[in-house]
């Protein structure tokens, strides 16, 4: 870490990795396999971060690894059209009902930035509605009341974002449809899109209230705005078709990241053909990327998606593992009357150190982050690697066994007793 901070700001290539809010020196990870990571001192941890979501099959999955190793024999990057990119796009369009067309990029941030520009280009409108506590990557206009690392750092907006950029970003309250209606009424005919994390996971996990997502769909239809589901976390996790499938809502555009790359840098945006058809080179909305659709990244992503799609039992396992872990934590919190609450869905969950229900940014911010830091440190010392922030999620993967989950519950029980 002393070496790192001399040459990398804060010693990390992404702020939330710095362990700032948990007051520890970050563990430098050397290798991973299945549900485990090992740090440079050889200490093994049961990993509940999974690279923040991508490692849904566990680390070093044989199907993904062998496909990548074999692809490397053929070269790393061409910057040219390849059949593989067509195969990946065809596969996703065939297996995800609401995706007519898709464009590959290199990160979730890039996917959201591109989808926002597309929505503005398609509608001819400038305003974008987002929700306080939702995090959509670090493009300028999305760093307004953002979640994840900015929320962790307690600075929901970033320096360096010109007022001119932020002024077109309107912030609503998650799970509060009236706050969205008010923004539409206050900006008639000006809202290009509403972008939402269909299950929020960047202020900790916050589930959509009954009718919330349906209400957004209706409002966007009524107002002529596009509904963008940011499924960078939910996509291919909450179901193969993501939150859109799980909750039965059809967005106009979806953004992906994480799982779609199988651990390699991949983002994507896709959806309605009439909207996607506005993208360069066939339409007026420009977007580009040297390494977009990179052969190695596409190989890793396709291998992971095919494994997930061809084996629905993976999703049954993720559901049962989530019920065991998060249901088990809920029982412990009740048994010890801990001033905590837990939100979870499928293989995603968060323990909040506040007794009140967490349904939006304001209630999430009530959490006792100092107490979370104690919990994090307690678990890390016992070999459990959690996301180093109250405002992130626990990510289960198919490599976590019931025995490992029960061990985790045992450690949490010890913490609650202490
Ligand atoms: P990336 O640019 O980090 O690939 O994706 C940005 C992004 C967009 N949308 C959602 C819903 C996201 O959760 C993310 C990124 N997630 C964070 C973890 N909460 C990435 C971890 C980090 O910043 O290092």
CA dist., res. 372 & res. 274, Å (int):
46
- Are 184 and 231 in the same domain? yes
User: Among 257, 151, 155, which residue's Cα sits nearest to residue 206?
Assistant: 151
Ligand 1 pocket test, candidate residues 14, 49, 108, 112, most atoms within 8 A of CB = 108
Are 111 and 192 contained in the same domain? yes
For position 266, what pLDDT does the model report? Answer: 98
CATH of the domain at 148: 3.40.640.10
- Same domain assignment for residues 271 and 377: no
* Whether residue 78 sits in one domain with residue 113: yes
Residue 13 C-alpha to ligand 1 middle, in angstroms?
Answer: 13
- Give distance in angstroms: CA of 195 to centre of ligand 1: 15
**Ligand 1 atom closest to residue 393's alpha carbon, by position in its atom list:** 19
Are 112 and 257 part of one and the same domain?
A: yes
Asked about 135 being catalytic, the answer comes back as yes
Instruction: Among 310, 332, 353, identify where a domain stops.
Output: 310
Residue in 271, 267, 276, 266 with CA at minimum distance from that of residue 251: 271
Of the candidates 127, 130, 258, 330, the residue annotated as catalytic is 258
CATH code of the domain containing 357: 3.90.1150.10
- Active-site pick, 61, 168, 230, 252: 230
Protein residue with its CA nearest to atom 13 in ligand 1: 233
Of the candidates 295, 314, 256, 299, the residue with the CA atom closest to the CA atom of residue 54: 256
Nearest CA to ligand 1 atom 20: 52
What per-residue confidence (pLDDT) applies to 156?
66
As a whole number of angstroms, the distance between CA 189 and CA 123 comes to 10
Give the residue from 27, 8, 75 showing the smallest Cα distance to 377: 27
Set 36, 45, 48, 135: catalytic member? 135
Residue partners of 255: CB distance under 8 A and separation at least 6: 108, 111, 112, 115, 136, 228, 229, 230, 231, 232, 267, 268, 269
Three-class DSSP category at 229: strand
Residue with tokens 């804060």: 10
Q: How far apart are the first and last CA of the chain?
A: 31
Are 370 and 409 part of one and the same domain? yes
Q: Are residues 246 and 375 in the same domain?
A: no
Ligand 1, atom 15, lies closest to the CA of: 137
Task: Give, using CA atoms, the residue closest to atom 6 of ligand 1.
Answer: 137
Q: Give the position, in ligand 1's atom list, of the atom nearest the Cα of 134.
A: 11
Domain count, the chain: 2
By residue range, what is the domain housing residue 339?
Answer: 4-60+312-417
Rounded to the nearest angstrom, the distance between the alpha carbon of 271 and the centre of ligand 1 is 20
Q: Catalytic residue at 315? A: no
Beta carbons within 8 Å of 248's beta carbon, 6+ residues apart: none
230 is annotated as an active-site residue: yes
In the DSSP assignment, the letter for residue 68 is H
In this structure, are 80 and 135 located in the same domain?
yes
Asked if 107 and 255 touch (Cβ cutoff 8 Å), the reply is: no
Q: What is the DSSP letter of 268?
A: E
Q: Which token pair is 86?
A: 């067509």
Say how many Å lie between the CA of residue 231 and the centre of ligand 1. 10
Separation of CA 74 and ligand 1 centre (Å): 30
Same domain for 279 and 410? no
What residues line ligand 1, using a CB cutoff of 6 Å?
14, 16-17, 52, 107-109, 112, 135-137, 148-149, 197, 202, 230, 232-233, 257, 267, 392
- Confirm whether pTM is higher than 0.95: yes
Bridge partners (DSSP) listed for residue 227: 194
H/E run at residue 119: helix 108-123
Among the atoms of ligand 1, which is closest to the Cα of residue 234?
11
pLDDT in tens, the chain (418 residues): 999 999 999 999 999 999 999 999 999 999 999 999 999 999 999 999 999 999 999 999 999 999 999 999 999 999 999 999 999 999 999 999 999 999 999 999 999 999 999 999 999 999 999 999 999 999 999 999 999 988 887 776 899 998 888 899 999 999 999 999 999 999 999 999 999 999 999 999 999 999 999 999 999 999 999 999 999 999 999 999 999 999 999 999 999 999 999 999 999 999 999 999 999 999 999 999 999 999 999 999 999 999 999 999 999 999 999 999 999 999 999 999 999 999 999 999 999 999 999 999 999 999 999 999 999 999 999 999 999 999 999 999 999 999 999 999 999 999 999 8
Measured in Å, residue 333 CA sits from the centre of ligand 1 at: 29
């Amino acid at each position: 870490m002393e070496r790192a901070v001399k040459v990398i700001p804060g010693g990390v290539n992404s702020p939330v990795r710095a362990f700032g809010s948990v007051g520890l020196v970050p563990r430098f990870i050397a290798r991973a396999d299945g549900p485990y990571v090992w740090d440079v001192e050889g200490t093994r941890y049961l990993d509940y971060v999974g690279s923040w979501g991508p490692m849904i099959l566990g680390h070093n999955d044989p199907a993904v690894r062998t496909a990548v190793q074999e692809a490397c024999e053929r070269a790393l990057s061409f910057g040219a059209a390849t059949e593989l990119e067509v195969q990946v796009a065809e596969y996703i369009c065939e297996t995800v009902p609401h995706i007519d067309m898709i464009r590959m990029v290199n990160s979730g941030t890039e996917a959201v930035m591109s989808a926002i520009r597309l929505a503005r280009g398609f509608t001819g409108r400038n305003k974008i509605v987002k929700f306080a506590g939702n995090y959509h990557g670090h493009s300028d206009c999305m760093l307004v009341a953002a979640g994840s690392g900015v929320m962790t750092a307690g600075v929901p907006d970033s320096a360096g974002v010109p007022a001119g950029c932020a002024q077109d970003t309107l912030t609503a309250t998650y799970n509060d449809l009236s706050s969205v209606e008010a923004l539409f009424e206050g900006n008639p005919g000006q809202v290009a899109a509403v972008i939402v994390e269909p299950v929020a996971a960047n202020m900790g996990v916050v589930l959509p209230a009954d009718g919330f997502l349906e209400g957004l769909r209706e409002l966007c239809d009524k107002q002529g705005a596009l509904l963008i589901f940011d499924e960078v976390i939910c996509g291919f996790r909450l179901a193969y078709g993501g939150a859109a499938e799980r909750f039965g809502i059809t967005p106009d555009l979806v953004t992906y990241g994480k799982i779609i790359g199988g651990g390699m840098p991949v983002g994507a945006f896709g959806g309605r053909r009439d909207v996607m058809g506005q993208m360069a080179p066939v339409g007026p909305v420009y977007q580009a990327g040297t390494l977009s659709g990179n052969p190695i990244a596409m190989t890793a992503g396709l291998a992971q998606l095919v494994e997930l799609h061809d084996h629905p039992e993976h999703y049954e396992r993720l559901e049962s593992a989530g019920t065991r872990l998060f249901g088990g934590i809920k029982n412990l919190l009740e048994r010890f009357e801990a001033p905590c609450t837990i939100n979870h869905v499928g293989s995603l969950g968060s323990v909040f150190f506040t007794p009140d229900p967490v349904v939006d940014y304001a209630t999430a911010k009530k959490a006792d982050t100092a107490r979370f830091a104690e919990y994090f440190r307690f678990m890390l010392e016992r070999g459990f690697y959690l996301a180093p922030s109250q405002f992130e999620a626990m990510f289960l993967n198919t490599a976590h066994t019931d025995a490992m989950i029960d061990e985790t519950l045992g450690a949490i029980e010890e913490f609650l007793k202490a």
